[in-house]
Amino acid sequence: MTGGGVEAMPASAVSWFGPRNRQSAHAHRLGRSRVKCSVHSLAPLAVLALAVAATGACAPPTPAPGAGDGGVNVAGPPQTVLVRGAAPIDVVLSDSGPSGPMSLVPFDSSASAGDVTFRVKNLGTMEHEMIVLKTDTPFDQLPVADAGDPPVPVKTGANKVDEANNVGETGDPNLKPGETRSFTVKLAAGKYVLVCNLAGHYQMGMRAPFMVQ
């Protein structure tokens, strides 16, 4: 105990306490330096974040998936539309032999005025033809008053109809069995009759009505 009534600290206590205080002070200084380092290290990160944000704001628009125009709406060249003409009118010629019956069957019985193409197929056993006649007479009531080639009026032995109103035909030579022939004719609005006008064929059934509108 000292003279002032205060007990002196043992030397062992002094030797332990003194270094402890020095360690605490050192730790305090170390903590402050770490704080400074942390503050300084955050500054570059903040600058980097600002740079990334600015880059994103100035970047070009992102194109939609599969787009090849860089995200910019660019109108393509005008497209060309091909307009095709009307499909051909298919006609089938058939027979059961020279004595009969025979048929002429168009797949369509009408068409629009203008160029009309007929595609004629002979599925019979003998030669045939097809002629387009312009007439208001019903298709099965044409007078059989002609004969010969070309047909001319006769008093006896008539086996053909008049061809004065012939506006188109398959032409010569006649279609042999299995042959196909196409021809195009310009038709005005009105009534027509399709016939095979070989001798006797009209009477045996080779006739059909056709309308042009």
44/122 same-domain check: no
Average pLDDT over residues 125-143: 98
CATH number assigned to the domain comprising residue 187: 2.60.40.420
73, part of any domain: no
Rounded to whole angstroms, what are the CA distances from 67 to 9, 72, 74, 80?
86, 9, 11, 23
81, part of any domain: no
84, part of any domain: no
The answer to which of 27-36, 108-117, 194-203 has the lowest mean pLDDT is: 27-36
Residues 42, 48, 51, 55, CA torsion sign: negative
Higher per-residue confidence, 142 vs 21: 142
pLDDT at 178: 98
Structure-token pair, residue 36: 């400074």
pLDDT at 4: 45
From CA 200, how far away is CA 100, in angstroms rounded?
Answer: 10
Average pLDDT over residues 94-120: 96
93/166 same-domain check: yes
Q: CA nearest 159: which of 172, 150, 169, 148?
A: 148
Give the number of domains in the chain: 2
208/134 same-domain check: yes
122/50 same-domain check: no
62, part of any domain: no
Statement: residue 92 has pLDDT above 50? yes
* C-beta atoms surrounding 129 within 10 Å: 22
| Residue the block writes with tokens 């022939």 | 181
49/93 same-domain check: no
pLDDT at 21: 43
Domain that holds residue 47: 13-55
Statement: residue 31 has pLDDT above 90? no
125/204 same-domain check: yes
How would you classify the pairing of strands 166-169 and 131-134? antiparallel
Statement: residue 18 has pLDDT above 90? no
pTM beyond 0.75: the answer is no
Average pLDDT over residues 19-44: 44
106/207 same-domain check: yes
Answer yes or no: are the C-beta atoms of 210 and 192 closer than 8 Å: yes
Q: CA nearest 204: which of 94, 106, 130, 102?
A: 102
pLDDT at 85: 63
Residue 55 in 3-state DSSP?
helix
34/104 same-domain check: no
74, part of any domain: no
Structure-token pair, residue 211: 């309308």
Is the preceding omega at residue 153 within 30 degrees of 0, hence cis? no
93/194 same-domain check: yes
45/126 same-domain check: no
Statement: residue 159 has pLDDT above 70? yes
pLDDT at 100: 86
2, part of any domain: no
131, part of any domain: yes
Higher per-residue confidence, 173 vs 59: 173
From CA 1, how far away is CA 92, in angstroms rounded?
Answer: 143
The answer to which of 11-15, 122-126, 196-200, 209-213 has the lowest mean pLDDT is: 11-15
Higher per-residue confidence, 198 vs 71: 198
Higher per-residue confidence, 147 vs 72: 147
Statement: residue 107 has pLDDT above 80? yes
68, part of any domain: no
| Residue the block writes with tokens 């004969």 | 147
CA 50 to chain centre: 51
pLDDT at 40: 47
31/120 same-domain check: no
Higher per-residue confidence, 57 vs 117: 117
51/93 same-domain check: no
